[in-house]
């Protein structure tokens, strides 16, 4: 699999080099197809999981303590270690070429994301892909090359993640609770009952052929070590009274492709529903269409004409 990435890099270099044809035009190398890359990525990831282990014994010996997650190869003195594949679970997410800005008309190509619940948080629930999460993480390639890291906890709205698979992985883990925050003498803090996990993301759920930095190759699979501290349940990004997760109308775990009034919005102000305070573009705010005279939210959301479309999504009612 390493050879495919190397070949892709060479082709990309040729594309952006000075090599031209007789008409002085650049030779364009088309991107690989999702349908070709996805199974190759999956084979690479499964091989990685079968040949590597993490320091599971530390977590087994002290299950209520946060440890640094360390990953190494099963070989030599570590030949008897249990491979990561024995702990890994997976979810399948469909990706279409249009999501990645590709011209090929590929629809719903399945991609498998793997995750390991290394240390289960003791919070009652897991965040959704639309929630705001207090997290710290380390992002690397499968060979260990680090490309991103937050050593301290930071708040992230998962819907805005540049790596689509990141929120999908976070949503498989549980967080800690606010009553277990411990202030450290150096000004940092820990959340003693936080959740820790490993997320391995295929390239089609990452940057595919458009990495933002030279530190990430074309068609690179990614590995994130994460610690989930807290999260804001039912995060409402646009404060319209509808939790952002409920504005994922097609239920695909990606909020930017849900836009009820896209045809009436100016090109400079196109907003997906979870960012739009007037989801149907009728000039009446979503919040007003779902609340009573006292400002209390009415649920189920009102549907004045009984057509099955709630008023806040129906421009013909307000």
Q: Where do the domains of the chain lie? A: 33-232, 236-318
Average model confidence (pLDDT) for the chain? 92
**7: pLDDT strictly greater than 90:** no
> What is the CATH code for 33-232?
3.10.50.40
Q: How many CB atoms lie within 10 A of CB 60?
A: 8
The string of pLDDT tens digits covering residues 84-129 is: 999 999 999 999 999 999 999 999 999 999 999 999 999 999 999 9
Residue whose C-alpha is closest to residue 201's, from 37, 88, 42: 42
State yes or no: pLDDT of 19 exceeds 90.
Answer: no
Radius of gyration of the chain (CA): 23
In 4-131, the DSSP E strands lie at: 52-54, 71-73, 89-95, 109-119
Place of tokens 């994460």: 226
Pull the structure tokens for residue 3: 């050879």
Residue 274: its pLDDT value, please? 98
pLDDT at residue 202 tops 60: yes
Q: How far apart are CA 67 and CA 286, in angstroms?
A: 45
Nearest to 227 by CA among 188, 277, 275: 188
Is 13's pLDDT higher than 70?
Answer: no
Backbone angles phi and psi of 256, in degrees to 5? -80, -10
Question: Which of the residue ranges 39-53, 67-81, 174-188, 236-250 would you say has the lowest mean pLDDT?
Answer: 174-188
Question: What pLDDT is stored for residue 29 in this prediction?
Answer: 76
- Look at 264 and 1; give whichever has higher pLDDT: 264
Q: Looking at residue 189, what is its pLDDT?
A: 87
* Predicted confidence (pLDDT) at residue 72 exceeds the cutoff of 70: yes
Return the pLDDT at 23: 52
180-201 mean pLDDT: 92
């Amino acid at each position: 699999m390493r050879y495919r990435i190397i070949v892709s890099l060479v082709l990309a270099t040729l594309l952006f080099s000075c090599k031209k044809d007789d008409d002085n035009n650049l030779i364009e190398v088309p991107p690989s197809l999702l349908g070709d890359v996805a199974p190759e990525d999956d084979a690479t990831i499964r091989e990685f999981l079968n040949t590597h282990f993490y320091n599971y014994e530390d977590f087994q010996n002290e299950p209520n303590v946060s440890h640094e997650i360390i990953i190494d190869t099963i070989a030599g003195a570590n030949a008897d270690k249990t491979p990561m594949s024995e702990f890994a679970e997976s979810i399948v997410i469909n990706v279409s070429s249009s999501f990645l800005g590709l011209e090929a008309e590929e629809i719903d190509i399945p991609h498998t994301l793997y995750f390991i619940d290394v240390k289960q948080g003791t919070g009652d629930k897991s965040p959704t892909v639309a929630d705001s999460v207090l997290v710290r993480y380390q992002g690397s390639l499968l060979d260990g090359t680090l490309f991103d890291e937050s050593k301290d906890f930071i708040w992230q709205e998962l819907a805005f993640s540049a790596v689509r698979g990141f929120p999908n992985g976070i949503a498989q883990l549980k967080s800690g609770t606010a009553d277990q925050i411990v202030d450290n003498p150096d000004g940092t803090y820990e959340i003693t009952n936080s959740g820790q996990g490993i997320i391995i993301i295929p390239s089609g759920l990452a940057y595919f052929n458009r990495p933002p930095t030279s530190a990430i190759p074309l068609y690179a699979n990614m590995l994130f070590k994460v610690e989930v501290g807290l999260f804001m349940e039912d995060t409402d990004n646009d404060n319209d009274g509808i939790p952002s997760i409920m504005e994922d109308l097609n239920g695909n775990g990606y909020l930017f492709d849900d836009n009820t009034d896209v045809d009436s919005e100016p090109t400079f102000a196109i907003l997906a529903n979870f960012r739009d305070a007037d989801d149907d573009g009728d000039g009446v705010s979503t919040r007003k269409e779902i609340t009573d005279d006292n400002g209390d939210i009415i649920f189920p959301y009102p549907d004045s004409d009984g057509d099955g479309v709630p008023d806040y999504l129906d421009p013909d009612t307000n």
